[in-house]
Amino acid sequence: MLQGLPLPPPRPRETHKGAMGRALLIGGSRGMAGAMHLAVGGALRAGPGYVIGALPRELAAGLHQAHPEALVPPLPDRLDATALPLLLDLANSADAVGIGPGLGLDSDTADLLLDFLRTLAKAQPGSSCVLDADALNILAAASANGNFSWTELAELKLLITPHPGEATRILHGTIPDERRLCWQMLVEATGSCVLLKGAGTLIGDAQTLGESGGEPYLNPTGNPGMATAGAGDVLTGILVGLLARGMNCLDAARFGACLHGRAGDLAAEAGSPESLIAGDLIDFLPLAWRDLAHRAPTS
């Protein structure tokens, strides 16, 4: 079941935090700060040297209290144009960026997102970037209005993690019932590595699509108890943390999804899938990581 699952690079005995990567997460808005708490928690458990949580100033104290291990830089009270120089500076020193958890759909925030991604693509081509949640909704709306094209971000190494609702918006209409076809359409439309969430998460990129048969990877872990608010935010954090550690988008998506699902399985076994919450996934990530490292063959 886990044959060929890619594992993160080993942690050298002589390593230090500066050599383990910097993960930057951007998001949060009034009423949705919890999404960033969960994403940062997931990123911390993925093992990078630093995790940076960038969110509006009024929410920063809560994040810092919940996760004292994270860096929480001072930002303006809103994620709008005034935050752009600061976010670009943070991205310049980061090894991977994740945007979307709790971001909100405010028009000023939408403008900031577009300006940030366009500038990042030009100034730092090759940057690894995870897009989730409201980041996907903003880009989908801008694309539908003719104000954005996914080709503008072709210089970035993009990993997108839509659920079926977000997939529908990205594709500007009803998605096909066949999940494999939906995954294929997302890869073709965005040029990204796509992790299509749901019962039977599908993962792959353009190279996967071009290989014989063009079949995506099917994640083998997870259970219905993970159909709960915030689970996707934890996954986003895990993925950004793995990218910061040096994994490529496809390998990070495959291992990250498997790790996330295994944490959910362990949480369900310890209690019940009926009462599982997103925070449980963070708590069980260390055990899930140990389990996968021991069970997954490397070839």
Per-residue pLDDT tens over the stretch 120-174: 999 999 999 999 999 999 999 999 999 999 999 999 999 999 999 999 999 999 8
Q: Which CATH superfamily is domain 19-256 in?
A: Ribokinase (3.40.1190.20)
| Distance, CA of 124 to CA of 268 (rounded, Å) | 41
pLDDT of the residue at 297: 58
Biggest distance spanned by C-alpha atoms of the chain: 52
- Work out the average pLDDT over 192-220: 93
Alpha carbons within 13 A on the beta-carbon side of 142: 22
What is the residue-averaged pLDDT of the chain?
95
**Contact predicate 197/232, CB 8 Å:** yes
Q: Is the per-residue pLDDT at 102 higher than 50?
A: yes
Give bridge partners of residue 220 from the DSSP assignment: none
Tokens for 86? 């600061």
| Distance, CA of 89 to CA of 1 (rounded, Å) | 42
| Distance, CA of 264 to CA of 284 (rounded, Å) | 7
pLDDT of the residue at 63: 97
**pLDDT: which is higher, 212 or 53:** 53
Q: Is the per-residue pLDDT at 6 higher than 90?
A: yes
Over residues 34-45, the pLDDT tens digits come to 999 999 999 999
**Hey, how many other C-beta atoms are within 10 angstroms of the C-beta on 270?**
12
CA-closest candidate to residue 233, choices 3, 37, 55, 16: 37
In percent, how much of the chain has pLDDT > 70? 98
CA-closest candidate to residue 157, choices 250, 50, 54: 250
pLDDT of the residue at 299: 43
- Work out the average pLDDT over 177-185: 95
Over residues 52-67, the pLDDT tens digits come to 999 999 999 999 999 9
| Distance, CA of 113 to CA of 143 (rounded, Å) | 13
pTM value is 0.97
pLDDT of the residue at 1: 55
Residues 6+ positions from 85 with CB-CB distance below 8 Å:
none
- Of the pLDDT bands very low, low, confident and very high (cuts 50, 70, 90), residue 294 is confident
pLDDT of the residue at 296: 62
Over residues 245-262, the pLDDT tens digits come to 999 999 999 999 999 999
CA-closest candidate to residue 94, choices 20, 150, 159: 20
pLDDT of the residue at 139: 98
Place of tokens 């294929």: 184
- Work out the average pLDDT over 216-237: 97
Q: Is the per-residue pLDDT at 11 higher than 80?
A: yes
| Distance, CA of 137 to CA of 100 (rounded, Å) | 9
Alpha carbons within 13 A on the beta-carbon side of 175: 22
pLDDT of the residue at 211: 81
**Contact predicate 151/192, CB 8 Å:** no
- The domains of the chain are located at 19-256
- Work out the average pLDDT over 233-246: 98
CA-closest candidate to residue 216, choices 235, 198, 238, 194: 194
